[in-house]
Amino acid sequence: MQTVSTRATLANAVAALKSGGKTLALVPTMGALHEGHLTLVRQARAHADRVVVSIFVNPRQFGANEDLGAYPRQLAADTAVLAAAGVDLLWAPDLNEIYPAGYATTVSVAGIDHMLCGMQRPGHFDGVATVVLKLFNQVAPDVALFGEKDWQQLTIIRRMARDLDLSFPNAAAIIGVATVREPDGLAMSSRNRYLTADQRARATALNRAMRTAAGAMVAGEPVAHAIGALRQALVLAGFDRIDYAELRDAETLDALTGWDPARQCRLLVAAQIGRARLIDNMAVEPALANPPELVSNG
């Protein structure tokens, strides 16, 4: 695996990878890699001849009081993991390569960036959209892969690609990959390492309560009741704050007051426990009438 950290060397490396008409997949990350990222890499390999992973902790998507300083940085370990996973190229720019002196442009996907996570994290999705568009322009991939755990992020990136006529003519070129979970259901996240052992045990309540609420909606319980019970379960489990727990249209992110089997519905939750703000989401669909069992950690 080749690692490059300047745009000049990136351009040459990308041209070499694409020679002979090879297709290229991009997996953008902020590092601190876990099994979720490696699943994106494996999926990328299935969709293209060559795989590029980027690692860049993007300051523009962190708010003033957020964890930019504390965000885990482990480039050497991540590089080894990506090399072992068969990645062709690692793009690991420093700050000045992405935002050189005088940098002034922001991409804003208005509307869907101000709800849900955007309410608590003003400017977050502007930072995401801006850096992702830059990565798309720098690497010019045929496909790009993102985890469904960040459902709002995925929705915003798809909307940006459509609105700006990016070289992905259809949203299918931006591939959402199903959330990778621990055996007890907790969605994998680089921020899970902020959890103490006790908080980690209690954090399992999040996905459990979501599955219960989603199943109740499908069984006909009013959405407001099911979400009320979900919130109560999180409070009982010791979550410190619930930023949101909502049923939304999966594509437009419009708020829904009732579950509609004819519509793609998504339950989205963000809640704080200790230092970790956990987010999760799931489809609320008829198949939930027969949910699979998860392993309990006791």
- Please indicate whether residue 37 is annotated as part of the active site: yes
Assess 144 for contact with ligand PAF (CB under 6 A): no
The one among 4, 14, 87, 132 contacting ligand PAF by CB under 6 A: 132
Share in percent of the chain as helix, strand, coil (round to 5): 45, 20, 40
Provide the token pair at 175: 């591939």
DSSP 90: E
Contacts 24+ apart (CB under 8 A), 155-161: 155/112, 155/250, 155/251, 155/253, 156/109, 156/112, 156/113, 156/125, 156/128, 156/129, 157/128, 157/129, 157/132, 159/109, 159/112, 160/107, 160/109, 160/129, 160/132, 160/133, 161/136
Shortest spacing between CB 132 and ligand PAF, in angstroms: 6
Shortest spacing between CB 85 and ligand PAF, in angstroms: 17
Tell me which residue has tokens 């601190």. 32
The one among 25, 131, 209, 213 contacting ligand PAF by CB under 6 A: 131
> Which DSSP string corresponds to 277-290?
EEEEEEE--GGGGS
Assess 281 for contact with ligand PAF (CB under 6 A): no
Assess 28 for contact with ligand PAF (CB under 6 A): yes
User: Which one, 150 or 182, has the nearer CB to ligand PAF?
Assistant: 150
Give the other-Cβ count within 10 Å of 257's Cβ.
Answer: 8
Residue span 191-230 as binding mask against ligand PAF, x where in contact by CB under 6 A, dash where not: ----------------------------------------
Measured distance CA(157)–CA(28) in Å, rounded: 12
| Interacting residues with ligand PAF between 152 and 191 (CB under 6 A) | 153
Assess 30 for contact with ligand PAF (CB under 6 A): yes
* Span interacting with ligand PAF, options 23-31, 78-86, 106-114, 249-257, rule CB under 6 A: 23-31
User: Which one, 62 or 239, has the nearer CB to ligand PAF?
Assistant: 62
Computed on alpha carbons and rounded to an integer, the radius of gyration of the chain in Å comes to: 19
Residue 59: name the closest of 135, 128, 110 by CA: 128
Assess 150 for contact with ligand PAF (CB under 6 A): yes
User: Which one, 146 or 259, has the nearer CB to ligand PAF?
Assistant: 146
User: Which one, 13 or 30, has the nearer CB to ligand PAF?
Assistant: 30
Shortest spacing between CB 275 and ligand PAF, in angstroms: 18
Shortest spacing between CB 186 and ligand PAF, in angstroms: 17
Measured distance CA(86)–CA(176) in Å, rounded: 21
Check 34, 37, 47, 124 and give the catalytic one: 37
User: Which one, 31 or 185, has the nearer CB to ligand PAF?
Assistant: 31
What residues pair up with 181 in beta bridges, in sequence order? 187
Q: What are phi and psi of 176, to 5 degrees?
A: -90, 130
Q: Does residue 25 contact residue 145 with C-beta atoms inside 8 Å?
A: yes
Measured distance CA(107)–CA(62) in Å, rounded: 15
User: Which one, 29 or 79, has the nearer CB to ligand PAF?
Assistant: 29
Assess 58 for contact with ligand PAF (CB under 6 A): yes
* Span interacting with ligand PAF, options 26-34, 170-178, 242-250, 267-275, rule CB under 6 A: 26-34
| Residues in contact with ligand PAF by the rule CB under 6 A | 28-30, 58, 61, 128, 131-132, 150, 153
| Residues marked as catalytic | 37
